[in-house]
Structure 1
Amino acid sequence: MAALDTTRTTYGSFGLIGRIGALFTAATNAVVVWNDARATRNALSDLTDRELEDIGLSRSDIDGVAVTSRGF
């Protein structure tokens, strides 16, 4: 007769494969965040000063907006 141990939890015990997957996910997320900031920076840089003023920004605000535009 086979016994199945159901008292162990799997929370936090990823093993090697799980840790590699978590590392890959973290790296992918970092690339996505970087690309979003790059795209935002490029889109805002393409606007004229008048268009930036219409949305309440100036050229000096672009980098700050691009970094904080992560959707949180």
Structure 2
Amino acid sequence: MSIATATRSVPLGAVTTFRLVNVFEEVKDTIISWNDARQTRNALAKLSAYQLADIGLSPAVR
């Protein structure tokens, strides 16, 4: 029994395109995470000290 090793070449620029797409995906994921945190901060900022204490948090002074 013999084992054949196949090598495949990729089209010119495919690796660069793949890396560029990965960069855009990372930027998109970073923006989504930042926006989620921003929305959470805004929602918590609207709560009273009593409501924050009820969920186990305390108001922070900026």
TM-score, length-scaled by structure 1 = 0.64
Establish whether residue 31 from structure 1 lines up as the match of residue 31 from structure 2: yes
Note the C-alpha offset of 1:7: 2.6
- Paired residues for 1:12-51 under 5 Å: 15-51=15-51
- Alignment match, 1:64: none
Say which one has the larger Rg: 2
Name structure 2 gaps, 5 residues minimum.
Answer: 9-13
Identity %: 39
CA RMSD of aligned residues (A): 1.8
Q: How many residues align?
A: 51
**Distance 1:7-1:45 versus aligned 2 partners, 3 A rule:** same
TM-score, length-scaled by structure 2 = 0.74
